[in-house]
Chain A
Amino acid sequence: MIRRLLIGSVWFYFILLLISPILYLVTQSFDEGIEAFWREVTTPEALHGFMLTLEITAIVLVINLVFGTITALVLVRQHFAGRTILSGLIDLPFSVSPVIAGFMLILLFGPETILGTFFGTLGVKVLFAMPAMVLATLFATFPFVVRELTPLLQTTGTDTEEAARTLGATEWQVFLKVTLPMLRWGFVYGTTLTVARAIGEFGAVLVVSGNILLLTQTATLHIYQSYVDFNYVGANAVALTLLAVSFAILALLELAKAKAAATAA
């Protein structure tokens, strides 16, 4: 009896908070028919937003994988003064509000600052352009790859790598043939998390991009603009597209987990 009550209340909680909002968004997006939905997701503004989001995500993912791997290796394998501080710093972005993160970049690269003047004389536009948007997304997503790799590095240890070295492998061979394959599930998880977060990033990008139509307007910014302009069908349609992407990412993650569990067993 208690068991049924508990299970029922959890179902109720999930339906109320999570499932019904999702279903509502789906029905609202098709409120004016499938043609309206299609029209809204294929406007030049929407398509530009999707492309820009894709570009930023790709750049951010590559940088995160490279520096995430280096940072994780250094954190787990090296012992030096300030290691605790470094690991604390890596965790920080999770606790910083996206708007504040964006604002910090404005303070850093604004026209009156040292860095702002420096890049200004070089003729490089940082704020209200691609570089700041990439930086903002990097800030928000940096912990993911590192956090997925460090536990793996800790549990696996260095025995296999030592063995490879003893057998005459160079450092580079050890890294490519032993270390990287060992970390593959960490890369899979880190990548999915980074991609999900980069696609959904809004607050920080809103602040640093200037939200310029057809120039710095990402998919999420486009949704926001449509909503503010009372174009609810447009906002919902693009939102549903991103929601579908979230579902796909989550499904991939579940699949990867099942596969990882199967190989581990």
Chain B
Amino acid sequence: MTPHKLLELSLRSAAIGYVSLLILLPLAAIAHQSFIGGIAHFIEDISSPQASSALILTLEAAFLTTVINAILGTLSAIVLVRYEFPGRWFLNALVDLPFAIPTLVTGLMIAAVYGPTSMAGTWLQQGGLTLLYAKPGIVLAMLLVTMPFTIRSLQPVLIELEREQEDAAFSLGASPWTTFWKVTVPSVLPGLLTGVFLTFVRALGEFGSIVIVAGNIPMKTQVASVYVYGEIESYNPQGATSVSVFILLISFLVLILLERLTRPPGERMPRWLRWPNRPLDMVRPSEIG
């Protein structure tokens, strides 16, 4: 064996060993715990009134967040890429903030601005809308935490698209309708799907900001992650395991679906190696304009 081969092999073992210990082993632990309980226990655990209402609430809120985020995120991305206006640089820099702010602090921010003692909170309450310790507060927290996903996944695609569209218009003279279906939709869709699916998965697992704004009333405003936390604190590992596994399964399924949907035909590369869906903005200022 040549020294070079030896070095290669030892680096590979180090990488595989480290990832196995750090990521695979904890996953194996929860899978093992879930198998001990068995499928009957699993179903019983997740269909208990408190667990099932937490799961339904989480799925509902995450879905609503995803829809709102998809619409407003797309709008924001288009405006940030296409238009030149005062404060554009400022807004573009702000987009990354929700990823940089600790989620717990995000929760406190929402509690501060929409809580019962603030101006906005009092005003909304008079209008009959309670945000804090209620469902809208949960959605608001999820929205703020996931705000960058759609915007940041779409921006690079939109920048790319402008060039493509120009090329198409210049060289082929295609009608706007054909351009839209043949160029716009196929090139924007992977970016949009990435942003939307990541938003959903992130919203499902959100804890820090929700624990502050939700009030965490069982059967009413308790989301799945808070339920799991409660089960851990009350020494019920089985209940915590079942709900955790359920959430993990949904997350993984969503991500596998995303991988299937966004993989160009014939390509076998893992999605994250080619798609610029980075967690914080990596769009260079020069790319944006």
Residues of A within 8 A of B (CB): 3, 6-7, 9-11, 13-14, 17-22, 24-25, 28, 67, 70-71, 73-75, 78, 80, 82, 84, 86-108, 110, 113, 135, 138-139, 142-144, 147-148, 150-151, 154, 171, 189, 192-193, 196, 199-203, 206-207, 220, 223-224, 227, 235-236, 239, 242-243, 246-247, 249-250, 253-254, 257-258, 260-261, 264-265
Contacts and interface: CB of A to CB of B under 8 A. Distances in A.
Interface string B17-30: 01100111111011
29 contacts: A6-B75, A11-B87, A13-B75, A18-B97, A22-B109, A25-B112, A67-B15, A80-B12, A86-B16, A89-B19, A89-B23, A90-B19, A95-B251, A96-B248, A97-B205, A99-B228, A100-B225, A103-B240, A108-B26, A139-B23, A143-B279, A147-B279, A196-B280, A200-B102, A200-B104, A202-B207, A223-B108, A246-B105, A260-B284
B70 to A, nearest CB: 13
B24 A97 contact: no
A107 B231 CA distance: 13
A202 B103 contact: yes
B204 A97 contact: yes
Contacts of B19: 71, 86, 89-90, 142
A258 B286 CA distance: 8
Size range of the chain B interface in the assembly: 35 or more
Contacts of A144: 279
B281 to A, nearest CB: 8
A102 B119 CA distance: 37
Nearest to A6: B79
Contacts of A250: 93, 96-97, 100
Contact of B79 (A7, A19, A96, A99): A7
B105 A107 contact: no
A223 B102 CA distance: 11
